[in-house]
Amino acid sequence: MHAAIQNVQASPLSHYPVGSQGTVAEVAGTGRFSARLREFGLLPGVRVRLLRAGSSIVVQIGETRLALRRCDAEAIRVCSDAALLPSPAAMPAA
């Protein structure tokens, strides 16, 4: 898992609302499935944006758009942008 998102709660991509953005934490699934997604650039640490939800989900990674089955999107764990922000207690005092 990417170092910046090791200790952050990740949720399945299929649970995010349309228009939301986040960072991929993990791509689970069979070796062949996850390898194919990596070929398309869906890797831990990469930012994604959810463009469409329903029985098929459309995501954007940079300039690339991918259509995924909902069941496949369940295997992609994403951290929301808000979850990646440091907590006020963790920030150094000015």
pTM score, whole prediction? 0.74
In this predicted structure, the answer to whether residue 78 has a pLDDT above a threshold of 80 is: yes
pLDDT for 91: 45
pLDDT for 6: 52
Sheet holding 56-61, edge to edge: 11-12, 76-80, 21-27, 47-52, 56-61, 64-69
pLDDT digits (tens, 9 = 90+) for 28-53: 877 888 888 888 889 999 999 999 99
CA 19/CA 5 separation, integer angstroms: 21
Is the separation of the CB atoms in 5 and 79 below 8 Å? yes
